[in-house]
Amino acid sequence: MSELSVRNLIGIKDLKASDLNLIFETTNRFLEVLNRPIKKVPTLRDITIANLFFENSTRTKLSFELAQKRLSADVINFSSSVSSIKKGESLIDTINNIISMKVDMIVVRHPSEGVASMISKKVKSIIINAGDGSNEHPTQAILDTYTIQQKFGNISGKKIAIIGDILHSRVALSNIYALKKLGAEVCVCGPTTLIPKYIKSLGVTVETNLKKALLWCDVANVLRVQFERMKSSYFPSNREYSKYFGITKKILDDLGKDITIMHPGPINRGVELSSEVVESDYSVILDQVENGVAVRMAIMYLLASKL
């Protein structure tokens, strides 16, 4: 297969395993480009891309922008916090104005579920979801699974524990879809209050004991406690959360086995991961960020062929 089965990247749910494998193969080629002295290629010359961020971001926004510049695209950036949204302009008027500027591709992050999908039904530009509420964060899941494949050679049969705030996490949902499509075994682990009731229907197991999850898995993808999305109290205190679900280097050393620690960022240091773990040889957190640029180059290159 040499092209993606979708025109827009809204969620991993819509992709086939062959789409993920095609993105991985293409990422390998762009990773090579990024390690050359001249990192820029003319692949997306004359393509205009708008990055629309209605929610804060460091990694995703910068990674998309760098990937677009490496591909020689023309890039415009929109942040709602410094836009006319602050004067009361609606989402749809904002989008219509940006589309009028003849934009070929839109990367959108929004705090509400379904916004990327809604935009894709109203405009002809290609849409890439950079995170919609607690729904999906497809490019994060692709860079996470790519990083696992890079480390282990393949994903099929690998045991991945997704640990932390599963309830509010778009990264968890997109990772579960991607890992299951690629043949991994997946366990989610966290306090019962932060595990959605439907989760077992996605073919994952549930573990509430951190040590058991860590002993079981090859890779622990540790998620941020998303305080900003919590409408009530899900655990008594940060100290209590950290006592039962915080990962320290001693916990990992005491397992007496190899384990890889991932985190999509941003990290609450001292809550879900100690600083020592973040900076240890267990961690591939910065490899995830490095791979993210090549993964996003691959996705935009493959989607641009649909224009």
Applying CB under 6 A, the residues found at the interface with ligand CP are: 57-60, 131, 137, 140, 264-266
Minimum distance from residue 12 beta carbon to ligand CP (Å): 14
What is the residue type of 75? V
| Backbone phi, psi, residue 265, to 5° | 70, 160
CA distance 11 to 147: 19
Q: How many residues does the chain have?
A: 307
Q: Of 8 and 221, which has the nearer Cβ to ligand CP? A: 221
Tell me the closest approach of the beta carbon of residue 61 to ligand CP, in angstroms: 6
**Which residues lie closer than 8 Å to 86 by C-beta, 6 or more apart?**
80
- Of 110 and 137, nearer to ligand CP (C-beta) is 137
Distance from C-alpha of 141 to C-alpha of 12, rounded to nearest angstrom:
8
CB of 138 to ligand CP, least distance (A): 11
Minimum Å distance from CB 286 to ligand CP?
12
Name the minimum Å distance from CB 269 to ligand CP.
Answer: 15
Q: How many Cα neighbours within 13 Å face the side chain of 203?
A: 12
CB atoms within 10 A of CB 40: 12
The nearer residue to ligand CP, 172 or 185, going by C-beta atoms, is: 172
Of the two residues 19 and 136, which places its CB atom closer to ligand CP in the complex?
A: 136
The nearer residue to ligand CP, 58 or 90, going by C-beta atoms, is 58
Residue 235 and residue 175 in contact, taking contact as beta carbons nearer than 8 Å: no
